[in-house]
Every structure is written in C-alpha cells, then in structure tokens.
Chains A and B, each alone.
Chain A
Amino acid sequence: MKHTISVLVENHSGVLSRISGLFSRRGFNIESLAVGPTQDPSVSRVTIIADGNEYTVEQIEKQLNKLIEVIKVKTLKAGECMARELLLVKVLAGADKRQEIMTICEIANAKVIDLTPTTMTLEVCDKYDHLKRFEQLIAPYGIIEMVRTGTIAIQKGSEVFAHKK
C-alpha cells in the first residue's frame, strides 16, 4: 500500500542525504521523493511516497523523527489530501500524428510545450494515477524521453501542516 508522508526539515545542506540514507539502510521502499522550500525560508518540505504496511509506515515516521534536523512528520491520509506530480514527455510525432496527440492532450488536460517536425513535448500536472493513464495513451506513438518530479501533496481544507514558531 502506498503512503504519502510529508516531512518538514531544516533547510540545511546534507538533510536530504540523511533522509534518503535512512530509507535505504532500513530497507524502506521509496517510490518518489520531492523536496522544495516552504513559506519559511529556513524550512524545506519533503514529500515521500513510500510502499509498505501499517508497521512500516509507523517505523518510517518514528525513524524520521529521530533525525535531529527533521522538525515534523505526518502521513497524509488518502482522500484527505491533494497530490500532484508534473510530467514532461517527448514523443515521436510527425505531421500526421499531431492532431491525434493534441486530442489526447485536450482530454487529459495536458499541454504541448514544444514542437519540432518529428517530435512533440508535452506537459501534464495531475495525480499519479492520471499521469500513468496519460503515459499509456501516449506510449503507442513512441516515447523517446520522459521526466517526472515525484509527487507533492497538501491537506484539503483549512487545516495546515506546519511547525510551531
């Protein structure tokens, strides 16, 4: 089962390697890890998508909390958070295929961000499952390059995940 874990950390160099090292040495399976600054410049937020049962997730949370530079950890419940991931994909597309691909893009809420006589580059930002479906739709045309950011997530509603000042 997949879990979305949000982690507030000190914005220091080396923090990310402590976190990724923890996952590998404790044998936790990580699907994606995304990190970026928050509204407080001294704090970064890491979003981890991890695979495992309840026990594993509890252990991940506890072990993360042991890191001195980790300020706060929370597993966001599915259905109570909104998750997004950005995908950029370069696909083979001669003139005869462009219209078809653009139709898929329109339905899938994707954008064409670059065009050459032989290729199209597409951008789509959505949930993990949606990106997976989009990838399947595009794949038959010939994906020649693909890059994804990893998922970030935020809670629904007015509640916030933040550290005490």
Chain B
Amino acid sequence: MKMSAAQAMAQCLLNEGVKVVFGYPGAAICPFYDALLDTDIRHILVRHEANGGHEASGYARITGRPAVCIATSGPGAVNLITAIATAYADSVPIVCITGQVSRDQIGSDAFQEADITGSAEPFIKHSYLVSNAEDIPRIFKEAFYIAGSGRPGPVLIDVPMDVQKEQIELEYPEKVSIRGYKPTGKGNYIQVKRVYAALKEAEKPLICIGGGVFASRAENEIKRLAAVMDIPVITTMMGISVFAADDPLYFGMIGMHGVKSANRAVNECDTLLLVGARVGDRAVRTPLALEKNTKIIHIDIDPAEIGKNIRVDHPLVGDAKLVLQQLLELAEADGQKDNSQWRQTLDAFRKPAVFSKAKEGTADPREFIGLLSQKMPADTVVCADVGQNQIWTCTGYRFKEGGKLITSGGMGTMGYALPAAIGAKLAAPDREVVAICGDGAFQMSMMELATAVQHDVPVKIVVMTNTRLGMVRELQTNGYNDRQTAVFLDGSPDFIKLAAAYGIKAIRVTDEDSMRSAAQALADEKGIMLVEVAVDKDYPTL
C-alpha cells in the first residue's frame, strides 16, 4: 500500500511498539506530526527540546527499550544536543527524529537549517540523514536496533521535509543486517572459566557494579552471583539501586563522592570484578595505583571500555546478563562460598549517618532524603539532578528492593531530574517517581512543570534551596581561597508561589518538624506536588 513517507514513519513507530513520544513541532517536521495524529501514539508536548530528550531518556531507563523524541530542524534539532550527549554518556537508548529543510535547500543556509547529523556526531551512537524516502523503513528498523542493542545509546534520524511528503511503499523489514555492527552476546567460554577461577581463588574479592547491569537487565544475575560466591558489592553512581541499601553484601557507592566503606573496600580487595562499569574518573581517581595492587576483571559489552582507563588482567567481552549466567552456572555447581571474614573486615568501615542540628530556618538535606526513603514505597523511582543534591541523594536515599535511581552520571547535566522523572512516570504510571533537585538545576528545566500539568503526570518534586550553586561554591571555598563568584542564585522565584502559578500543591520545609510532615505529605499525595527544602548555604556535599 502506498502512503506518504511521513505516514510510513508513524507506522514504523507503531511497528516498534512505541506508545508515547516526546516532542516539539516546527515547520520542517509538520508532515510527520500530521501523520502522528492518525495513530494512537500519545504525544507529550514538552517545553524545550533538550527536556524532550531527557523525558525520552527517563522513559527508556524504565522500559529498557528505545524511547522517541522529536524536534524540528535548526534550533529545535540543536536544542536536542544536550539530551543526546547526556544519553550517550549514560548509554541510554533513545531515537531522535528531527525534521530537516528540503533536500534542494540543504547546504544553502536556509531558514532553520542546521547540520544536526554533523553536530551530534561526537556523542551519538549512530545517525542518518535520509536522502531517499524508500530507505525509511530500513532506517527506522536499524535505528531502533542500534539504539537498543549492544551498548545502548542515542540514534538520530534526520528527515528532510520534502522526503516526508513523498509517496512510498511500506514494507517493514523483519530483520536487521548491518555488516559493521554485530554486538557480542555470550562471553568466550575459556575466558569465562579463567574469570571464575580468579574469583574463586581470591581471598578478598569485590564486585563493582556500573550502569551496564541495568542496561543489560542483569540485576538478578549479579545478586545471585554475589550471594552464592559471598562477594561484597559496591557500585558506581550509575549502579546505585541494583542492591538494596540494607543488603549485608552491599557497601555503597565508590568515588570522590562515595562512601568510606566502598572506597576502603576497593583499596583492600585483592580481586576486583567490574561489571558494566567504565572506570570513570569520578568513580576511580587513581586507576594506576589500583591496577598495581589488585587483580582486575572487567566484564563489558563494549570492547573499547576494557583496558581504556585501567589495565585489566582478565577481559571478558559480552552482555552482562549472559556472561553472569555463564559464571553463575559454574558458581552454583561449586556450591555456597564463605567470605565472612573478609566481609566482617569491611563491616568495620560502615559508618551510620549522623545528623547534627540544622541551622535555624533550614533542614538537613540528607536527613530529609533519608526520611523520604522511609516514607516512599519500595519501588519508587528517584531522579537525582546534578550538584550537591545528586550526592546527597546518592548517599542519603536508602533504596529498597525494587527501587531505582535515575541520574545523569556521565555527563552531569543539570536540569535532568524533572524531565527524566516525567518520562519515568509515563513509563511506570503505577510507581511513585520523585525528582530531587537543587535550586540551580531546577531552574534549568522548571518550565517542564507545565508539561507535567498539561499531560497529568503526577510526579513528586523536591527542590533543595540553598540559594547557591552549592557544589561550585564549595569548590571555590576549598580551592580558590573562598573567593565566591557567580554562585549566588539571588533573584530566584518563590518556589511555592511558582508551583501555585502552575496549579501545583507545594509546601516549604524550614525545620525538623515540617521535614517529617512534608516527607509524609509527599508520600501520601496522589497528584503533582513540590516540596521546597531550605538548606543552609554552607552545608557540605559530603
């Protein structure tokens, strides 16, 4: 059956099972929007394209499948770049569809023309500029496959306006065949056996979980392996919430903002198994010292990550879920191991959070976050923004079994939390979703309150207000003789009134009592709700 290429694009999304898309229209993408109107696909009108990309990112991190965002040519497309780079850094599968000026205008600096495939190239998994309408079914099939398979990531499809209007025959391909792209599945069996032997021999083994465990849906496998081999576990920021905070095997987040028990564990272990963790500079500050004293095993689906930041004794390329299943088979055949002595050594480094009395008119942000984690249901999705609030959330929120953290770990993109929360809530309407932001990051994406209201997405929002860009302020205090500059957020709105202007219920926390009632109110509320927590301007990150 002949149809317009725009209709074929919409049909391709249906074939991929897409139910929700996030976008912002413009002239060059109008044919596609017109075609979308005739489908059941729900369109979420965002208030800025970057947020549309983050919303798709939040959605994808819940479903595990590529999510779609749409923008028009030129400024619409380039606004997406921050979201593309953010998704790339955290290996999140999103498919971005952009309009482009007509083919005869490309290269002429036409109105709203931008080379988006060229400009997104450094931080995108793959991109297409569609020059023949007949290629659309193949390109869409490939784009979803590439975004979601192997090491996931963003893929862009740029479609000139005249291409969208052409008539084509839609035959959606069943299979993908790309000769330059064959992601690895299972691990090499000989290598798997070597890795298992190394883990078994180790006296002080340690597992470090990264975001790859989520990407590969390997949460159960890693938990079972750690349990049967009795190996303590730490995570990078991206691996937080794979293990419940109170799991006796779990020792917390490593890195410059990590907890003592996790960092000591890394220093003390004799064998470190990295799973889907890329040894980023925030997580491992001194890889040279680590590789000298420790046997390193690295499981990753991306061969380029192995040996990139740290020298590895046992590389193991493959999908974490499949590789861990292979290891589990060997481990379960051997039966339960006991590393209790080593675990007890590490238990001594655990430090329960102690909170001193907050200054007059403020509340302790970490205490509030800890309280929130007691009040919220176990399967709550927490979206942490970037800055001090991110670290407070990562170290203060006590995740339970089934809970999930979503944050911009690699790129550290401020303003990510609110849109990611909206996307996550749309993907999981039955779960509670909380965005925890600072007053700096929140003001980078607070226009998305309208998106939440318009589309009735009941997210919960916490805004920590210290009227500072707190992390930079701290850097200036410690590293620049306390010469504070450009970190004062004077001129910020009254966030309670701001919420009211959107018709959103909001309360302010200024002391310990209101902290407790606010955490409870947030948990009880059915609709959208915002809680502002007044934080002392000098409150430290750690």
**Known pairs A59-B304, A63-B304, A66-B302; A25 contacts B118 (CB<8 A):** no
CB distance from B471 to the nearest CB of A (A): 26
Q: How many angstroms from the CA of A165 to the CA of B146 in the assembled complex?
A: 21
Cβ of B122 within 8 Å of any chain A Cβ, yes or no, is: yes
Q: Which residues on the B side are within 8 Å of A70 (C-beta)?
A: 180
Verify A21–B307 contact, CB threshold 8 A.
no
* Cβ distance A106 to chain B, nearest Cβ, rounded Å: 46
Q: A164 to chain B: which residues have CB within 8 Å?
A: 179
Query: Given A62-B303, A63-B304, A65-B303, A71–B180 Cβ distance below 8 Å?
Result: yes
Q: A58-B307, A67-B180, A68-B126 are in contact. Are A17 and B302 (CB under 8 A)?
A: no
With contacts A63-B304, A65-B304, A66-B304 taken as known, whether A18 is within 8 angstroms of B121 at the C-beta atoms is yes
Given contacts A18-B121, A68-B146, contact A10 B303 (CB under 8 A): no
Let me know if B181 and A68 touch, CB within 8 A: yes
Residues on the A chain within 8 Å of B178, using CB = 68
Give the distance to chain A from B127, nearest Cβ to Cβ, in Å: 8
Please report which residues of chain B, range 256-313, place their CB below 8 angstroms from some CB of chain A when the two chains form the complex: 302-304, 307-308
Q: Taking the complex as formed, is B129 at the interface, i.e. its CB lies under 8 A from any CB of chain A?
A: yes
Please judge, given known A-B contacts A68-B181, A70-B180, whether A17 and B121 are in contact too, CB under 8 Å.
Answer: yes
- Contact present for A21 and B122 (CB under 8 Å): yes
A41 / chain B contacts, CB cutoff of 8 Å? none
**Interface status of A163 (Cβ within 8 A of chain B):** yes
A contacts with B, residue count (CB < 8 A): 22
Q: How many A-B pairs with Cβ below 8 Å?
A: 37
Bound: A127/B146 CA distance, A:
40
Which residue of chain B has the shortest Cβ distance to A70 in the bound complex?
B180
Check if A17 sits within 8 Å of B118, measured CB to CB.
Answer: yes
* Residue pair B307, A68 in contact (C-beta under 8 Å): no
Residues in B neighbouring A21, C-beta threshold 8 A: 121-122
Contact between chains at A59 and B308 (CB < 8 Å): yes
Measured CA separation A58–B121 after assembly (Å): 22
Q: Which residues of A contact B126 (CB under 8 A)?
A: 68
A21: nearest residue on chain B (CB-CB)?
Answer: B121
Could you give 25 example pairs across A and B, Cβ below 8 Å?
A10-B180, A14-B118, A14-B129, A17-B118, A17-B121, A18-B121, A25-B122, A58-B307, A59-B304, A59-B308, A62-B303, A62-B304, A62-B308, A63-B304, A65-B304, A66-B302, A66-B304, A68-B125, A68-B146, A68-B178, A68-B181, A69-B180, A71-B180, A72-B180, A163-B179
B: which residues have CB within 8 A of A?
A: 117-118, 121-122, 125-126, 129, 146, 178-181, 302-304, 307-308
- Nearest first, the 9 A-B pairs at minimum CB distance are A62-B304, A71-B180, A68-B126, A68-B181, A25-B122, A70-B180, A71-B179, A62-B303, A21-B121
